[in-house]
Amino acid sequence: MHLGSDAEDEQVKLKATVEYNEDMRAETNEVTNIIKISYFNVNINANNEEKIQVGDIYECLINISTNDFENDATNVILKINLPEEMEYKSVAYEGGTTPNKVVVKGNTLQINLGTIERGKNRQLTLKLNVKDLPNGVYKKDVSITGTIEADGKNAETIPTLTDTINKIGVSIVQTCNIPANTTISAEKNIHIHSQYQIFRKYLWKM
């Protein structure tokens, strides 16, 4: 869908009339919908073929273009919110050149893309270091979010990229078979994991 530089969100109102046997007629309530007009087209995808492990370099491919066939987009700013488990390493255009300005503040990354010409696509490769997970955590889903804006254009939300970080480790769960007619007591709550069920009582008899 191509838009002019003055394209705005559209309000659409829907209302219907229902007739029965030509002599019965009723009107529905009016429903108003807003058709949002997106100025930017943004696609963000992971570029890693294997599972993401702690210590890896995570790569994102970001493609950006506009729906405006009349004017270039100027002073384009891409803001990316990184999860706690990832940190910025580098960003580059296709071909290896770097953006005009990159600012990192905590987990927020701001990239000044300058001008994006009408009808043309701008591709970025974003590299992130995958940090360690907390003790006892061996798998975690993380998300990368963000916005994009330009002169005269409000900020738009970019698609969310979600992936899973894996950590090599061993999780041990001790189990035992409790013989029948065994009495177990304790002063505090205890957990006993059998291969059949989980008990949580002060005193019980099997």
- Model confidence over 74-104: pLDDT tens digits? 999 999 999 999 999 999 999 899 998 999 9
Scanning the chain, the segments in alpha helix (DSSP H) are none
Q: Is 125:45 a contact under the CB 8 Å cutoff?
A: no
**CA gap 195, 81 in Å, rounded:** 44
Model pLDDT for residues 41-68, shown as the tens digit of each residue: 999 999 887 889 999 999 999 999 999 8
**CA gap 145, 161 in Å, rounded:** 7
Task: Strand 57-66: give its sheet, edge to edge.
Answer: 40-46, 57-66, 122-130, 86-93
- Residue 197 tokens read as 């069920």
Residue 6: pLDDT above 80? no
Residue 174: pLDDT above 70? no
Helix (H) or strand (E) holding 90: strand 86-93
Residue 129: pLDDT above 90? yes
CB atoms within 10 A of CB 135: 7
Q: Is 73:93 a contact under the CB 8 Å cutoff?
A: no
Provide, rounded to the nearest whole percent, the portion of the chain with pLDDT above 70. Answer: 78
Rg (CA), the chain: 28
Largest interatomic CA distance in the chain: 84
Of the candidates 184, 87, 95, the one whose C-alpha atom is nearest the C-alpha of residue 132 is: 87
Task: Supply the pLDDT for residue 201.
Answer: 38
**CA gap 162, 145 in Å, rounded:** 9
**CA gap 88, 79 in Å, rounded:** 13
Q: Which pTM value belongs to this model?
A: 0.68
